[in-house]
Structure 1
Amino acid sequence: MLGIASRMNTSVLPNFVVKHFGDALWAAMIYFGVRALFIRMLSVKVLVLSLGFCCVIEFSQLYQAEWIINLRNTLLGGLILGKGFLYADLVRYIVGAIAAYALDHLLKETEKP
C-alpha cells in the first residue's frame, strides 16, 4: 500500500520518494513474502532468492508479446509485472531488498533474550 501511495500522491511527496520508493518497497515486500514462505531458510538465501525474483520480473519486461502487454495494462498485471524495463529499477530493488534484510536482522536481534 505504501508503494502505491508513493505513486498516487505525487504532488505532496518529494520527487525522490515518488521516483524511487515504490520499486524499493516492492522489493522489500518480495523479501518479506519469501521470508514468510520459507521461515527456516537463511536470511541471506532469502535475500538472493527475492533479488533473483525481482530481476526476473524486470528482465521479463523486455519481452513484448501482445498477450503480456495486455496483461501489464491491467492494474494487477502492471503492479506485479511492471510496464517497462529500466536499469535504475534493478538498483532500487537491490536497495529495497537489502533494507528489508537489514530490518529483518534488526528485528531478530531485538527478539533475543
Structure 2
Amino acid sequence: MRSRPGYAAAVRRASGLRLRLGYAAALVAVMLLGLASRRFAGALPSFIASHAGDALWAAMVYVGFRVLFVRRSVLFAAVASAAFSAAIECSQLYQAPWINAVRETTLGALVLGHGFLAVDLLRYATGVAAAAGVDLAVKRWSRGAGRS
C-alpha cells in the first residue's frame, strides 16, 4: 500500500507539535518549581534553597531551547543552554546604569540576575545536565513503552 504524498510530512508535523507541547508543559512545570524554590526557600533544606533556583533556571533555559528547536539533538540543547546561561551570568559583570535599571524590574531580575557569582556557573551546569538527563530518560522510556 502506498502512502499519499505529503502524508509523511503531516505525520512529522504532528509529531513535532506533540513534542513541542510536551516540552512546553515541562517548561511551565520547571518555571513553577523555580519560583517555588525562591518563594518557599525557608521551608527547604539550606543546601537546596541556596542552589535549586539557579539550577532550575538553567533547566528552564534547556527546556526552552527544546521547545524552540524540537528536532535538534539533546546535545545541541545542552550546549546552547549552557552557553546562554554562562553568557547571562557573565553579563552581570557589566554594570551600566541602563542595564541595572532593567535588573531592578521583576522580570529583569529573574532573567538577568544581579551580580556575578562563579558558583552560579556550576549550578547552571548541574541544572542543564539534570534536564538533559531527564530528557534522555523520557525518550528512552517512551521508545520502550511504544514497543509494548
TM superposition score category, shorter chain reference: over 0.9
Does structure 1 residue 9 correspond to structure 2 residue 40? yes
Pick from 63, 71, 74 the counterpart of residue 102 of structure 2.
Answer: 71
Partner of 2:79: 48
Counterpart of 2:142 in structure 1 is 111
Secondary structure of 1:63's match? Answer: coil
Equivalence for 1:93? 124
Q: State the identity as a percent.
A: 49
Task: Give the Cα separation in 1 of the matches to 2:91 and 2:105.
Answer: 16
Structure-2 separation of matches of 1:64 and 1:34: 27
Relative contact order, higher structure (CA 8 A, sep 6+)? 1
Aligned-residue offset at 1:89: 0.3
Deviations 1:22-63 (A, max 9, x none): 000000010011011111111101100000000000000000
Structure 2 residue aligned with 1:24, among 48, 55, 62? 55
Structure 2 residues without counterparts, runs of 5 or longer: 1-31
Shift of residue 3 of structure 1?
1.4
| Unaligned residue ranges in structure 1 (runs of 5+) | none
**Deviations, residues 53-109 of structure 1 (Å, cap 9, x unaligned):** 000000000000001001001100000000110000000000000000000000000
Moved segments of 4+, more than 3 Å: none
